[in-house]
Structure 1
């Protein structure tokens, strides 16, 4: 018996595989299902777009946990303003994932979230990282980071809402991971006079910043931690005479981090007044 031929789409001569039946769908692979989709219009070559960082999905944490132990490398010292350590970035990113999945979406501010509603988020973080949430300082630190991630998530929701100039269309186009009912509640919030007034004030306040940092979301504490570790690992040599040491290297590490995060990639200050602030120290 000759092998079955693939049907040809009328008029264009394209090979189109036979339609999947119910029995075939049950055992078909993803590739089979994609191959069985109806032909699309010829692909139009699009202009290259700037690469953007995708949404964090927590895959790195899941992979580490599959190894059978909690993730270490998180240092939360008494009196510190932020956590530091080899996994500090992973720690903070995972809190963003936890917020999107477990935080009460219909609460507009973290101060409105009750301690009982926070417990699932705290428990999730403690189950993944080697930290002690019974320590008041650790709990306060985690609460503060989650609060910042909560504000960022609501900000991203508002940015998504503003993509549509028509409020009606904006309501019909919820952000991914937000169900339509929760989205409508958020839209009510975005359209309220109180929110609009506060949003305008925030925009004006950001425009007044004259010394913005230029090096991403890494905290000042983490930068100091990495700088100190880097310098501690360098063995002094006979050539490291005092006269050969650059002036910047003799400055306090806090001042060097400040300067490093207020310069452009070409080494120029983000604002001439920023250098004056550094000199004043």
Structure 2
């Protein structure tokens, strides 16, 4: 999006479609989600359990980084909720990635002293907080519960793109049963397809 902004010499308006409850097209949604992910990884302090629990002032500061490429003026309630949802998802994903990095170390103390990811080198306080958070019994138990949930036979495994985008794509492909096809795309993992009904 930065290249588009540079070429057009203007910031990009954030579109919103009430039917999708997201950007009007999958391409715009993906671009915005990507840019928000970049903002979270680059500028967002990692000092809270979730985006929801982050102080309002901090959220405003982090969101303002989007104004480099996007026009954040005149955002109505629906657009704000949509952008906020993307920030929440990207914050959660980044925190999960950092936890996976943390688990690469056998000793939490070694992770704390030597394992700070390069993205957080200028935000050491975030890495200190995360290391403490990842060893907190409450968080450890929550992770155990997540592992148990992952043992379920039907799992959503294709990211945050709204189902409506997938439905539209399937319809363009000529699917006669887009709802069934989208269910298969999202919940059925390759190799775990349901047996076809016997005639």
TM-score of the aligned structures, taking structure 2 as reference length: 0.81
Match of 2:165 among 218, 222, 231: 222
What does residue range 129-278 of structure 1 map to in structure 2 within 5 Å? 129=70, 134-171=75-112, 172-179=114-121, 180-208=124-152, 210-213=153-156, 215=158, 218-228=161-171, 230=172, 249-251=175-177, 253-262=178-187, 270-272=192-194
Q: Structure 1 215/156 Cα, relative in aligned 2: closer, same or farther at 3 Å?
A: closer
Report the CA distance between 1:71 and its aligned residue: 3.7
User: Is this contact kept in 1: 2:170–2:181, CA < 8 A?
Assistant: no
Q: Structure 1 157/117 Cα, relative in aligned 2: closer, same or farther at 3 Å?
A: same
| SS of 2:10 mapped into structure 1 | coil
How large is the RMSD of aligned CA atoms in angstroms?
Answer: 2.8
User: Is this contact kept in 2: 1:102–1:121, CA < 8 A?
Assistant: yes
Is there any run of 5+ residues in structure 2 with no aligned partner, and where?
A: none
Q: Distance in 1 between matches of 2:10 and 2:40?
A: 23
| SS of 1:99 mapped into structure 2 | helix
Which structure has the greater CA radius of gyration?
Answer: 1
Report the CA distance between 1:131 and its aligned residue: 6.2
Q: Structure 1 205/271 Cα, relative in aligned 2: closer, same or farther at 3 Å?
A: same
Residue 65 of structure 1 corresponds to 5
| SS of 2:183 mapped into structure 1 | helix
User: Is this contact kept in 2: 1:76–1:138, CA < 8 A?
Assistant: yes
Report the CA distance between 1:217 and its aligned residue: 5.4
Structure with more contact order per residue of length (Cα contacts < 8 Å, sep ≥ 6): 2
From the two aligned structures, give the one with the greater helix fraction.
2
User: Is this contact kept in 1: 2:22–2:29, CA < 8 A?
Assistant: no
